[in-house]
Amino acid sequence: MYEIDTSMPVMVSGATGYVAGWIVKELLDAGVTVHAAVRDPDLAEKLQYLNALAEAAPGAIRYFRADLMEPGSYHEAMAGCGIVFHTASPFTTRVKDPQKELLDPALLGTRNVLGEADRTESVRRVVLTSSCAAIYADAADCAAAPGGVLTEEVWNTTASLGYQPYSLSKTRAEQEAWMIAEAQSRWDLVTINPALVLGPAIGGKPTSDSFDIMRQVGDGTFKSGVPRFGLGVVDVRDVARAHIAAAYTPGAEGRHIICERGTDLHEMVRALRDPFGRDYPIPERVLPKWLVWLVAPMVGLKRRFVARNADWPWRADNSKSVRELGMTYRPMEESIQDMFQYMIDTGYFKKA
């Protein structure tokens, strides 16, 4: 469906990130020269996993210092690049100041990276790592979508700084990206909107919230049970492939929901019981919604979140990604089991 052009370098912002690592691997394996934009190119420990990928691949990697909050800091990294992958954006819900820790970096980073693309004549396409969080805030929003199913036409309208600020940051950042892209005609924008990303990292211990959820599954935090919070899931390796397809498929355009299926937290965790339940306290019980709602403030959850996510089915249409990007998806069971085994191997938790 597409051919990877190795004649021009590409830039990857946030190159040491969870999703970005797999994008870099795909590019290096194809023989592409990657301009990796990172906050500190002198931190050898942070770059060791990317260096190992480069040593085993025909492609090459070069590091450039860049900061989401500094205008002009992507100039050197982007010079001569044909494609820009903008992946850098915080993925965490554990913040004290949502404006400073989530919204500002997401918005200013988008303006800085895409503004630099405007000034860099060689750039012809920008692939933005957005999220399904830019489409919905709660599983209950699926029911309000046309036909009860999320599509690329839907935008998140229920998140705010006081409620689901991460979702607000992804929504505002993607909207800003489309506004910047539509104000010019030299380069085009394609966005990737993944559901909850599962699967192994290329190395280290990512700070992504999906790893925090899995840590609590394995360390006994959830041993009394988990609620049926509706969500969508996708493998990180498939998310990376979607980025590559979005970059090099000539006719790729617009937004793309990237998910393997809709599920819920209990069903997701259940896939870990057979391979790991003997050695780790994998939760078995379903916690009833009324109980979770009752104790929510004591465990750091908003009751509104429980009301709008527990026992709500999550439904989204991934057919555009299949049709236009040629996507096929690993089953959730493989993704979550590979992720859990990776976490065991890298010491996230000890056996019970």
170: annotated active-site residue: yes
233: left (phi over 0), alpha (psi -120 to 50) or beta: beta
Which residues of the chain, if any, have pLDDT below 50?
A: 352
Q: Which of 96, 100, 170, 223 is catalytic?
A: 170
> Which of 215, 193, 181, 194 lies closest to 111, judged by CA?
181
How far the first Cα of the chain sits from its last, in Å, is 47
- The fold of the 10-345 domain, in CATH, is Rossmann fold (3.40.50)
pTM of the model: 0.96
Pick from 215, 203, 198: which is nearest to 349 by CA?
215
Structure tokens at 181: 């892209």
Structure tokens that stand for 343 in this block: 């976490």
- Radius of gyration, CA atoms only, the chain: 20
Query: Strands of 125-129's sheet, edge to edge?
Result: 60-65, 33-38, 10-13, 83-86, 125-129, 188-194, 254-258
| pLDDT digit string, tens, across residues 137-188 | 999 999 999 999 999 999 999 999 999 999 999 999 999 999 999 999 999 9
Cα–Cα nearest to 114, from 38, 188, 36: 188
pLDDT of residue 209: 86
Instruction: Output the pLDDT for position 245.
Output: 98
Query: What's the pLDDT score for residue 91?
Result: 55
Q: Where are the domains of the chain?
A: 10-345
Residue 74 phi, psi dihedral angles, 5° rounding = -100, 5
Digit-coded pLDDT (tens) for 79-119 = 999 999 999 875 556 678 889 888 998 899 999 999 999 99
Tokens of 183: 């104000």
